[in-house]
Structure formats: C-alpha cells, structure tokens
Amino acid sequence: MRRICSIKGCHRDHVARGWCSLHYRRWYNNGDPLYNYWDQFPKVCGVPDCEGRVESYGLCHKHYFRIRRAGLTPSVENYKQWELEKAREILERWGQPIPDEVAA
C-alpha cells in the first residue's frame, strides 16, 4: 500500500516522519513542516493607492522600474516622508546616487 504525506491537502509520497520530502525539508530546516518562506514578504505594492502585486523591494513592477530607470517615481513632491525613506533605502541598496529630492 502506498503511503502519502500526512499534511492535509498534500498527496506526495511519504518519505520520513509521515511527511513528503518537501514538508520534511521544511521541518528539518525551519522546525515547521508548514513553513513557507514567501509568507514573510508583503503582497501589495508599498506605494499608496497602488494595488499592484509586489515584485521586488516591496514595489510592483511599474514602481520598481520607475525607480530603477529614473531614480525616482514621478511627483516625488507628493510623497509622504516614509515613501521618501523607502526610495532612499532602495537607491542605497543599488549603490545609486541619491537625488536632492530624496536626500532632503
């Protein structure tokens, strides 16, 4: 008789401790067979009023590439302080020069 993983909804073959290789590795590495690495990241873009799915650095595709190409998103004057800090943080990670609008 074929044994399957004991995690609800998982139909992979049993490997060890009643779990499949995926759940066993998660338990072995993190202490929890249900641990999911991606759950620790935000799902929605960090720019206000943007519902885009996060792609990189907490931003959607559109806002990430605006910052990457131009160094800033349009109308930076309208951003709140925390948004400027986010832009500064991203530019520092890339080792890019920080424009005066963001540095202030």
Q: Indicate the domain borders of the chain.
A: 1-37, 41-103
Q: Measured at the alpha carbon of residue 36, what is the angle toward residues 23 and 54, in degrees to the nearest 5?
A: 150
Distance in angstroms (rounded) separating the CA atoms of residues 50 and 66: 14
What are 31-60's pLDDT values in tens digits?
Answer: 999 988 877 767 888 777 888 888 877 788
Q: Which residue has the tokens 């590795």?
A: 25
User: What's the pTM?
Assistant: 0.45
Q: Fill in the amino acid letter for 9.
A: G
Distance in angstroms (rounded) separating the CA atoms of residues 70 and 50: 19
In this predicted structure, the answer to whether residue 6 has a pLDDT above a threshold of 90 is yes
- Mean per-residue pLDDT, 82-103: 72
